[in-house]
Amino acid sequence: MKVGIAGYGVVGKTRHSSILKNTDYQVVAISEKNKEQYQNIPASIEIFEDYQSLINNADIDTIFISLPNQFAADASVLALKKGLHVFCEKPPSRTLNELQKVKNISLQHPSQSLMYGFNHRFHASVEKAKTIIADNTLGRMVNLRGVYGKSQMISFNQTDWRTKREESGGGILLDQGIHMLDLMRYLSGESFTEIFSFIDNAFWNFDVEDNAYVLMKSANGVVAQLHSSATQWRHVFNLEITMEKGSLILGGLLTSSKSYGEETLTFIVSDLEKDKGAPNETITQFDEDVSWDNEIKYFADSLKNNSPITRGSIDDAIETMRLIEEIYKADPIWKKKFYANK
């Protein structure tokens, strides 16, 4: 399998390393606008200045897309039309409408695989939580409460397109909160239909949000709360899942920045008569970030076995993007500002 990588920033390099470690694929072509990155690309790899040239001219079978948001959907469409398998990072597009166009093209090319990089699903703590939930050990789910926050919109090695709505499509909710929304959907198996929100950009004062406060409810009565923040001075990842007979707490997350603390899963079994609000709990700590490697292995296995993508599919991406747009529209001020004529 010959592979091309569109975009060779932090994520593109991470994918490259994981591809080499976990598959027998050959990375033969890379596109990157920033010529300073060329020194990091092996001489044996063909370099293109833009993703269009890569897709149209490189001799590849599969493409990994790690481009700014405004190009993700277009690159996916071009690649599918070219007959390539596609792995695209989140967010999958700027808007739901853009992503729907990708799905329409993918339906015309059923032999091409299309997967989206929601790598949080592949963290060891999340996979363990998913197994416990599926085993029904703690009964049905009652609610979820998540906080995912960092201290700023862009870091020292990122460009400011993330702060411009026309280029990015959204702020912290679309950039980072999308992971928590995807996990809430993945772990609960629910489709959230009632949505309330307060969207704010009062601190960083960009035309994208720096905080999103969200309350959602599914038809089955499962309630989910989310705070997605770019004013969380101490970086936080925390997801509490309340079940009938106990709860699970995903705390901390192993990432390249190492700023979200140790990755743990707390398993709580409740006995209302005995514990009186202080139940026994077991904490498991995970010492390695396996998400990138496990995600690549999953994608490669799907291609090898010609099996459908069920974790990070186009339908997953569309449902999560639907939630994001509904969250934006649920705030009347945000809706009036950005969706009045749509």
* pLDDT at residue 160 in the model: 85
DSSP state of 175: I
**Is residue 167's pLDDT more than 70?**
yes
| H or E segment to which residue 132 belongs | helix 124-134
Contact 112, 80 (CB under 8 A): yes
Tokens 């591809």 locate to 19
Q: For the segment 62-96, what is each residue's pLDDT rounded down to a tens digit?
A: 999 999 999 999 999 999 999 999 999 999 999 99
* pLDDT at residue 273 in the model: 81
Distance CA 307, CA 310 (A): 9
- Please state whether beta strands 246-251 and 263-269 pair in parallel, antiparallel, or not at all (unpaired): antiparallel
Model confidence at 97, pLDDT cuts 50, 70, 90, reads: very high
* pLDDT at residue 202 in the model: 87
Distance CA 205, CA 172 (A): 13
* pLDDT at residue 242 in the model: 98
| H or E segment to which residue 306 belongs | none
Distance CA 303, CA 251 (A): 33
Structure tokens at 4: 């091309």
**Is residue 188's pLDDT more than 80?**
yes
Q: For the segment 6-62, what is each residue's pLDDT rounded down to a tens digit?
A: 999 999 999 999 999 999 999 999 999 999 999 989 999 999 999 999 999 999 999
| CATH 3.40.50.720 residue ranges for the chain | 2-112
Q: Is 280 in a helix, a strand, or coil?
A: strand
Average pLDDT over residues 165-187: 97
| CATH 3.30.360.10 residue ranges for the chain | 120-293+322-338
* pLDDT at residue 158 in the model: 57
Distance CA 289, CA 26 (A): 24
Q: What does each C-alpha distance from 28 to 51, 60, 77 come to in angstroms? A: 14, 7, 21
**Cβ neighbours around 316 below 10 Å, total:** 20
Contact 171, 141 (CB under 8 A): no
Provide the residue type at 84 as one letter. Answer: L
Query: Given this structure, which CATH class describes domain 120-293+322-338?
Result: alpha beta
- Please state whether beta strands 280-286 and 223-229 pair in parallel, antiparallel, or not at all (unpaired): unpaired
Structure tokens at 294: 């496990």
Closest C-alpha to 246, from 276, 277, 270, 222: 270
How much is the pTM? 0.95
User: Over the Cα atoms of the chain, what is R_g?
Assistant: 20
* pLDDT at residue 275 in the model: 86
Q: What does each C-alpha distance from 80 to 53, 88, 115 come to in angstroms? A: 15, 12, 12
Distance CA 300, CA 87 (A): 10
Instruction: Give 33's contacts (C-beta < 8 A, 6+ positions apart).
Output: 49, 50
**Is residue 101's pLDDT more than 70?**
yes
CATH 3.40.50.720 is the classification of domain 2-112: yes
Q: Helix-strand-coil percent breakdown of the chain, rounded to 5?
A: 40, 25, 35
Closest C-alpha to 313, from 112, 46, 31: 112
Q: For the segment 127-163, what is each residue's pLDDT rounded down to a tens digit?
A: 999 999 999 999 999 999 999 999 998 764 556 899 9
Report cis status (omega within 30 of 0) of the bond before 42: no
**Mean pLDDT for the chain?**
95
